[in-house]
């Protein structure tokens, strides 16, 4: 018996009720608990920075401040040795990929209809054309990352099966959602795979490299020497 024949109307209803009900709540619970565990783990790996005190009899002598022009050229020189200066094209793809990966599910019309139906609230929604465009950007960027890992020797030598799995998990909700929305292949199979792949990604975020989506902001505002912004208060324990 093939998959299409197995997914009869009653079985689809039961399966969808399960994956859109208990399974989605379980996914969010694991996601939330995972974030809490990782946050405490991060706090254990860092400590509050110590304030340096001057020796008795020593006075603090302020350093000469740089002009705005000098600061600008120093930062420009620094950018040349970062990935932005070395591979600006890949930075652009990475930026578009991550932004679209986050905002598309939040402001997708179909997701907000479900939110409104289930909880009585919703976010603003993109038009279907905009959502399609953002989804295609994610898919095209994912293809670029895949080809980069396959074709560039310096990247391929560092790539493992784990990296391909993570890329597939990140792309799967967008690919299956796009195919389901446009009724490409069997709709019932695509929508079930779409929901399951989204829940899988949600569960994996705290326990895989996906955690960098959260850690990026924590490190920038909390930890010293992580291209910090603001006034970070913690440093790594070595």
What pLDDT is recorded for position 214? 74
CB 31 within 8 A of CB 205: yes
Angle between helices 187-204 and 22-45 (to 10 degrees): 20
pLDDT digits (tens, 9 = 90+) for 117-134: 877 788 888 899 999 999
pLDDT digits (tens, 9 = 90+) for 28-62: 999 999 988 888 887 777 766 654 544 454 444 44
* Low pLDDT (below 70) residues in the chain: 1-10, 47-87, 216-238
What pLDDT is recorded for position 58? 46
Looking up tokens 């905009």 gives 130
Residue 153 falls in which region: left (phi positive, over 0), alpha (psi -120 to 50) or beta: alpha
The alpha-helical segments, DSSP class H, found in the chain are: 3-6, 9-19, 22-45, 68-80, 83-86, 88-106, 109-119, 128-151, 153-156, 161-181, 187-204, 212-222
End-to-end alpha-carbon separation of the chain, Å? 58
What pLDDT is recorded for position 1? 46
What is the reported pTM?
Answer: 0.74
Looking up tokens 């895949």 gives 146
Residue 69 falls in which region: left (phi positive, over 0), alpha (psi -120 to 50) or beta: alpha
Q: How far apart are CA 29 and CA 199, in angstroms?
A: 11
What pLDDT is recorded for position 197? 93
What pLDDT is recorded for position 123? 86
Q: C-alpha dihedral over 135, 140, 143, 149, to 10 degrees?
A: -110
What pLDDT is recorded for position 166? 92
Hey, where are the domains in the chain?
92-207
């Amino acid at each position: 018996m093939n998959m299409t024949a197995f997914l009869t109307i009653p079985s689809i209803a039961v399966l969808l009720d399960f994956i859109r009900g208990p399974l989605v709540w379980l996914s969010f619970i694991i996601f939330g608990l995972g974030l809490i565990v990782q946050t405490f783990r991060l706090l254990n790996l860092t400590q509050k920075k110590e304030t340096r005190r001057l020796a008795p009899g020593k006075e603090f002598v302020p350093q000469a401040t740089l002009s705005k022009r000098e600061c600008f050229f120093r930062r420009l020189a620094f950018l040349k040795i970062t990935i932005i200066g070395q591979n600006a094209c890949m930075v652009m793809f990475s930026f578009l990929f991550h932004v679209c990966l986050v905002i598309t599910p939040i402001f997708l019309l179909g997701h907000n209809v479900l939110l409104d139906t289930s909880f009585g609230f919703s976010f603003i929604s993109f038009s279907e054309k905009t959502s399609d465009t953002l989804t295609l950007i994610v898919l095209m960027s994912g293809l670029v990352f895949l080809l980069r890992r396959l074709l560039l020797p310096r990247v391929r030598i560092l790539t493992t099966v784990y990296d391909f799995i993570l890329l597939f998990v990140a792309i799967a909700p967008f690919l299956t959602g796009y195919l389901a929305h446009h009724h490409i292949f069997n709709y019932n199979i695509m929508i079930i795979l779409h929901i399951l792949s989204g829940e899988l990604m949600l569960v994996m975020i705290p326990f895989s490299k996906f955690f960098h989506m959260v850690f990026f902001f924590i490190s920038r505002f909390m930890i010293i020497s992580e291209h910090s912004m603001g006034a970070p208060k913690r440093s790594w324990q070595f």
